[in-house]
Amino acid sequence: NAGVTQTPKFRVLKTGQSMTLLCAQDMNHEYMYWYRQDPGMGLRLIHYSVGEGTTAKGEVPDGYNVSRLKKQNFLLGLESAAPSQTSVYFCASSYSGVLFFGSGTQLSVL
């Protein structure tokens, strides 16, 4: 039972490049989330989904897009990466309000 799996674990991008982060969960959870973590700012919610085919904006959605085509997968896309998007990204799924986090993706935008 893998829980929540994020790929890739590390990535370096140049400004303006695009990429997609993949999150997969095998717990059959309805709710999934993308957070970013920056020093001194805690975890900030980017986007979330309350079920297959649904997405909603969180606290800091600008510059990101998401898709939830399958219940087990939640994709986070950066169309044109900026240095301000350098961060650690965590995906999570939840059940009864409890969040289960993936191991994170360290993204650097140069």
Binding residues for another protein, per CB under 8 A?
A: 31, 33, 35, 40-45, 48, 50, 58-59, 90, 94, 97-104
CB closer to another protein, 19 vs 99: 99
Output the smallest distance, CB 71 to another protein, in A.
15
Token pair, residue 81, equals: 């990466």
DSSP letters, 17-84, are: --EEEEEEESS--SEEEEEEEETTTEEEEEEEESSTT--EE-SS-TT-EEE-SSTTEEEEEESS--GG
Q: CB 46 → another protein: shortest distance, Å?
A: 12
Nearer to another protein, 11 or 31 (CB): 31
